[in-house]
């Protein structure tokens, strides 16, 4: 009953990982590479690269890859269902209860404390994310002055997008589309220039 | 009609949701505000719930919004399905050529460009949440500051931080009032 195994493995991954996508990677690896040996480490890395290049929820993309690779559409159906079912059921229960009781003064008080915390949780990783993306370089031994200056100038991109969304109410989707088109144009331009 | 709009919105979010959970949240924030499905306050509550429950944040958020807007399980199933549909189509199409994708110069260029932009998207989500409804008094700013420091410098578990902030809120805004 490989299908049931698919479903249960991903059900476990979905039910026991808190904090979303990236927190799931080690658990997925342990389950599908180490325990079940459905794919090997090299394939696992390919799976990560692919599920991160495709938009959408990374864990679901990863579930698709494993299920589809081993047993086609039926396999993918089982792994995906397993990975989303815990979230779906738990959130439904909470949403049903929460919409009924959210106006109780006790619940209101709790969420008055939580709301600013949520904003901080969203804002805090920005610094590290920017550095991970190759912005704000400081190491003078590793990079040339030009690379350091460019890496700081690149900050203009996220700052401009944040301001456009925040102040001009522009949809993030437009910003993503413009980024994709410009990136393609830049790659094409570089390719042609290097041929000359 | 409501169901159609929900489907189209979440399909769009799934199609352009690059860069992980928080980046998807910023798209959900824009769409739910545009249609008046959630206020910034309700959005913050939804993020807190999605963060403290298991599973991918995008799925949690989609399920929550679907239920909140329609009040039905069907609404939840629809938004969740719409969110994952575009990536499933793309994964299906790309699975057979995945070895080529990884090193494709165009793909690498696009992914690098998106990595810069996603930082801005998430910053915008935080800025949009800084409303007087979410920051009601000086204690809100104090909590914001403490959680910010706790996450960035002390790497305290976000779930623990949410639960403690809830406890502080309960004491401050219920017991003391």
Q: What is the 3-state secondary structure (H, E, C) of B23-47?
A: HHHHHHHHHHHHCCCCCHHHHHHHH
Cβ contact A32:A66 at 8 Å: yes
Residue A169 region, left (φ>0) first, then alpha (ψ -120 to 50), else beta? left
User: According to the per-residue pLDDT averaged within each range, which of A96-100, B5-9, B157-161 is highest?
Assistant: B5-9
- From the list B101, B117, B134, the residue facing A115 with the nearest CB is B134
Cβ contact A79:A14 at 8 Å: no
Contact A113 B170 (CB under 8 A): yes
- Collapse the DSSP code of B56 into the 3-class scheme (helix H, G, I; strand E, B; otherwise coil) and give the result: coil
Q: How far is B52 from chain A (nearest CA, A)?
A: 7
pLDDT-derived band of residue B55, with 50, 70 and 90 as boundaries? confident
State the best of B13, B56, B160 to mutate against chain A, taking most chain A CBs within 10 Å. B56
Residue A170 has pLDDT above 80, yes or no: yes
Residue of B nearest to A175 (CA): B117
- Phi, psi of A52, deg, nearest 5: -85, -25
Q: Which residues of A45-78 are buried (b: 16+ CB within 10 A; e: fewer)?
A: ebbbbbbbbbbbbbbbbbbbbbbbbbbeeebbbb
**Percentage of chain A surpassing pLDDT 70?**
97
Q: What is the pLDDT averaged over residues B116-125?
A: 92
Long-range own/partner contacts, residues A68-75 (CB < 8 A, 24 or more apart): A68/B91, A68/B92, A68/B95, A69/A38, A69/A39, A69/A43, A69/B95, A70/A2, A70/A6, A70/A38, A70/A39, A71/A2, A71/A3, A71/A6, A74/A3, A75/A2, A75/A3, A75/A6
State the best of B14, B31, B40, B55 to mutate against chain A, taking most chain A CBs within 10 Å. B55
**Which sequence spans correspond to the domains of chain A?**
2-101
pLDDT at B108: 84
pLDDT at B22: 83
**Which sequence spans correspond to the domains of chain B?**
2-96
Residue A19 has pLDDT above 80, yes or no: no
pLDDT at A196: 74
For chain B, the average pLDDT equals 90
pLDDT-derived band of residue B139, with 50, 70 and 90 as boundaries? very high
Q: pLDDT for A73-92, tens place per residue?
A: 999 999 999 999 999 999 99
The dihedral of CA A92, A96, A99, A102: what is its sign?
negative
- From the list A58, A98, A173, the residue facing B20 with the nearest CB is A58
- Collapse the DSSP code of B130 into the 3-class scheme (helix H, G, I; strand E, B; otherwise coil) and give the result: coil
pLDDT at B98: 60
pLDDT at B52: 85
More confident call, B145 vs A20: B145
Distance from chain centroid for Cα B68: 15
Residue A116 has pLDDT above 70, yes or no: yes
Residue A132 has a CB neighbour count (10 Å cut-off) of 11
pLDDT-derived band of residue B127, with 50, 70 and 90 as boundaries? very high
Residue of B nearest to A57 (CA): B58
- CB contacts, 8 Å: A124 with chain B: 147-148, 151-152
Contact A119 B119 (CB under 8 A): no
More confident call, B19 vs A149: A149
Q: pLDDT for A36-69, tens place per residue?
A: 999 988 888 888 878 888 898 988 999 999 999 8
More confident call, A51 vs B121: B121
Q: What is the ipTM of this complex?
A: 0.89
pLDDT at A44: 87
Residue B93 has a CB neighbour count (10 Å cut-off) of 10
């Amino acid at each position: 009953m490989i299908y049931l195994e698919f479903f249960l493995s991903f059900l476990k991954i979905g039910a026991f990982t808190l904090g979303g996508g990236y927190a799931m990677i080690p658990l997925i690896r342990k389950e599908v590479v180490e325990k079940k040996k459905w794919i090997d480490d090299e394939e696992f890395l390919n799976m990560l690269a692919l599920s991160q290049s495709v938009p959408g929820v990374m864990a679901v993309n990863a579930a698709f890859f494993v299920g589809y690779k081993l047993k086609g559409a039926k396999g993918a159906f089982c792994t995906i269902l397993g990975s989303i079912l815990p979230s779906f059921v738990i959130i439904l229960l909470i949403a049903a209860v929460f919409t009924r009781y959210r106006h109780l003064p006790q619940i209101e008080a709790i969420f008055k404390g939580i709301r600013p915390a949520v904003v901080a949780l969203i804002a805090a990783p920005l610094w590290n994310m920017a550095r991970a993306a190759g912005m704000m370089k400081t190491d003078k031994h590793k990079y040339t002055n030009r690379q350091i200056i460019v890496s700081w100038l690149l900050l203009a991109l996220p700052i401009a997008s944040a301001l456009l969304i925040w102040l001009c109410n522009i949809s993030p989707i437009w910003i993503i589309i413009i980024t994709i088109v410009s990136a393609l144009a830049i790659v094409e331009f570089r390719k042609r220039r290097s041929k000359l | 009609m409501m169901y159609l709009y929900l489907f189209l919105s979440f399909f769009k979010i799934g199609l352009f949701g690059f860069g992980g959970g928080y980046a998807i949240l910023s798209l959900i924030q824009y769409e739910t505000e545009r249609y008046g499905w959630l206020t910034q306050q309700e959005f913050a509550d939804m993020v807190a719930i999605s963060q403290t429950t298991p599973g991918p944040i995008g799925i949690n958020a989609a399920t929550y919004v679907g239920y909140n807007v329609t009040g039905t399980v069907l609404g939840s199933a629809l938004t969740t399905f719409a969110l994952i549909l575009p990536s499933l189509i793309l994964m299906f199409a790309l699975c057979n050529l995945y070895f080529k994708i990884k090193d494709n110069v165009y793909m690498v260029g696009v992914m690098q460009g998106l990595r810069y932009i996603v930082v801005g998207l998430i910053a915008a989500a935080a800025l949009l949440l800084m409303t007087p409804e979410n920051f009601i008094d000086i204690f809100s700013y104090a909590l914001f500051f403490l959680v910010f420091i706790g996450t960035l410098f002390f790497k305290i578990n976000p779930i623990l931080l949410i639960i403690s902030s809830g406890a502080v809120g309960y004491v401050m805004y219920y017991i003391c009032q």
